[in-house]
Amino acid sequence: MSSSLLHLNLSDVVKLLHEKKVSSVELVQASLDAIEREKDLNAFVSLNPEQALQAARVFDNQRSQGQLSNSLLGGVPVGLKDIFLVKGVKTTCCSKILSNFVAPYTATSAQKLFDAGGISVGQLNMDEFAMGSSNENSCYGPAKNPWDKARTPGGSSGGSAAAVAAGLVYGTLGTDTGGSIREPGSFCGLVSMKPSYGRVSRYGVIAFASSLDQVGAFGRSVQDCALMMQAICGHDNYDSTSVDTPVPNFSSHLEEGVKGLKIGIPREYFIDGLSSDVEKAIQEVIRTYERQGAQIVPVSLPHTDYAIAAYYVIATAEASSNLARYDGVRYGFSRSREKGLVPMYEDTREAGFGPEVKRRIILGTYVLSAGYYDAYYVKAQKVRTLLCQDFKHAFSQCDVILTPTTPMTAFKIGEKIKDPIQMYLTDVFTVSCNLAGIPGLSVPCGFDSQQLPIGMQLLGRAFDEATLLRVARAYERDTQWHQQYAWNKKQI
């Protein structure tokens, strides 16, 4: 089979599967072959070819018997960030401390994807425990951006973005704690979505910061992203934070356009340090929406300046608590058992965690400690409340909010890794969304002077993902940025 078939959008290849013009086995084998050819991208950290091909054979057999006519995904190859548990599959969170951990059960979101017809071919690279913005904090080494292999694909879901952008699989799942889906989507020229907190189950997803983590998806088009999200959304009794609210058909209203809708532009997101190429692209997006009949309204999110600081207090505090379980006793990597309990804890965590994870554990432990809890953690939670109120007020004036996804395009591997503050500031436009628990997505909206993708971010009311996708599709329908691919970048 021609590898060009892997370059089709997910929605197009699902149609071919239903028409029996291609088989799942062919697609999975082509995906595995492409991963081998592009292994220098370091997008995948492990593969499960035998299980994937067996699942493909089952789908093909069911299709031949007419049992898959309503299958959402039809048996297409996908990938999972190495943070999703899959029973019997090694899941490491790209950390040495989980180097020998094999999952005893499957995450709900992954199982929903499988039930909808997705076939996972392997686990994808990421920043260790999802802590990072460049995928350089992985024990497997950094994933690379298919648009320029000297650059980062973004983080923490860098492998998830790179795999879709390079045409290795049709869609992937990632997680987003402060921008870890939207930033890689922007850097790699993809549509990527973080849903409302509680829309997708977190059961079976290794925790970083439990009040911020959310499962989302990557695709090459809004329709692809809508299909992936449709597959994984829904209430789950195994997750106490999962919200029991109806899931709309995300694809049914995609073509309704934006005429009559109000799109808010927050002045706080157009700041010093914003790339001129990015700002120019966003201004052109605004003009496009105006031509389509949307009303552009200025809005204010006055506490945006405090979001980064509040985020890195709350996220690290929760990480400190969540990562306390990695002690060398119950599972994962262990050292110095013969020296006694405390030396074993110390040696295991010293050798097992990377520098960024240690940095965040130390910071989180500090802000939770006696004497500092009120000064930092409680104050950060108050800022979070103010940010939520900012969004509530803004959405009383508009239907969606439009911003840049990131202040710059993909930076070079090694460029920011030694300066944590500069790395953290790459999340300046994305963390507020997580603190407020609202949905957000990134959509390709142009290229900079170095032919690197630029992304725009759309933010919406809680549990109104359908409107976000509709607004994104309206822009996509009138532009061609989503049809520019890394494998033919010379044509840009």
Bridge partner residues of 175 (DSSP): 215
Pairing relationship of beta strands 400-404 and 295-299 according to DSSP bridges: unpaired
Question: For the chain, what is the radius of gyration of the CA atoms?
Answer: 21
**Is residue 133 assigned to a domain?**
yes
Cα–Cα distances (Å) from 106 to 91, 135, 278, in that order, read: 11, 24, 40
Q: What CA–CA distance (Å, rounded) separates 2 from 330?
A: 47
Is residue 130 within 8 A of residue 92, CB to CB? The reply is: no
pLDDT for 161 equals: 98
Q: What CA–CA distance (Å, rounded) separates 301 from 297?
A: 13
Please give the full DSSP string across 24-72, using - where no structure is assigned. HHHHHHHHHHHHHHTGGG--EEEE-HHHHHHHHHHHHHHHHTT--TT-S
Cα–Cα distances (Å) from 343 to 133, 337, 338, 347, in that order, read: 32, 8, 9, 6
Q: What CA–CA distance (Å, rounded) separates 249 from 475?
A: 20
* pTM of the full structure: 0.96
Distance from the first to the final alpha carbon of the chain: 27
Pairing relationship of beta strands 400-404 and 118-124 according to DSSP bridges: unpaired
**Is residue 458 assigned to a domain?**
yes
Q: For the chain, how many structural domains are there in total?
A: 1
Pairing relationship of beta strands 400-404 and 262-266 according to DSSP bridges: parallel
**Is residue 432 assigned to a domain?**
no
Helix (H) or strand (E) holding 231: helix 222-232
Is residue 112 within 8 A of residue 31, CB to CB? The reply is: no
**Is residue 249 assigned to a domain?**
yes
Report DSSP state, residue 411: P
Cα–Cα distances (Å) from 258 to 219, 327, 385, in that order, read: 22, 52, 30
- Hey, is 129 helix, strand or coil? helix
pLDDT for 330 equals: 83
Tokens describing residue 349: 């965590």
**Where are any strands of DSSP class E within 111-228?**
118-124, 172-175, 191-194, 215-219
**Is residue 383 assigned to a domain?**
no
Q: In what order do the strands lie in the sheet with 76-81?
A: 44-47, 118-124, 76-81, 172-175, 215-219, 191-194, 440-447, 453-460, 400-404, 262-266, 295-299
**Is residue 487 assigned to a domain?**
yes
**Is residue 351 assigned to a domain?**
no
Ordered per-residue pLDDT tens for the chain, 492 residues: 456 899 999 999 999 999 999 999 999 999 999 999 999 999 999 999 999 999 999 999 999 998 887 899 999 999 999 999 999 999 999 999 999 899 999 999 999 999 999 999 999 999 999 999 999 999 999 999 999 999 999 999 999 999 999 999 999 999 999 999 999 999 999 999 999 999 999 999 999 999 999 999 999 999 999 999 999 999 999 999 999 999 999 999 999 999 999 999 999 999 989 999 999 999 999 999 999 999 999 999 999 999 999 999 999 999 999 999 999 888 888 887 777 888 899 999 999 999 999 999 999 999 999 999 999 999 999 999 999 999 999 999 999 999 999 999 999 999 999 999 999 999 999 999 999 999 999 999 999 999 999 999 999 999 999 999 999 999 999 999 999 999 987 655
Is residue 275 within 8 A of residue 425, CB to CB? The reply is: no
Tokens describing residue 187: 């850097």
Q: What CA–CA distance (Å, rounded) separates 355 from 332?
A: 18
Task: Domain of residue 24: give its range.
Answer: 3-259+441-491
pLDDT for 1 equals: 47
Tokens describing residue 373: 């809890």
Neighbouring C-beta atoms of residue 452, cutoff 10 Å: 23
> Which residues contact residue 431 at a Cβ distance below 8 angstroms, ignoring those fewer than 6 apart?
178, 179, 307, 308, 311
What's the helix, strand, coil split of the chain in %, to 5?
45, 15, 40
**Is residue 161 assigned to a domain?**
yes
Cα–Cα distances (Å) from 250 to 50, 117, 256, 399, in that order, read: 33, 17, 12, 17
Q: Which residues are catalytic?
A: 81, 156, 180
Q: What is the CATH number of the domain that holds 129?
A: 3.90.1300.10
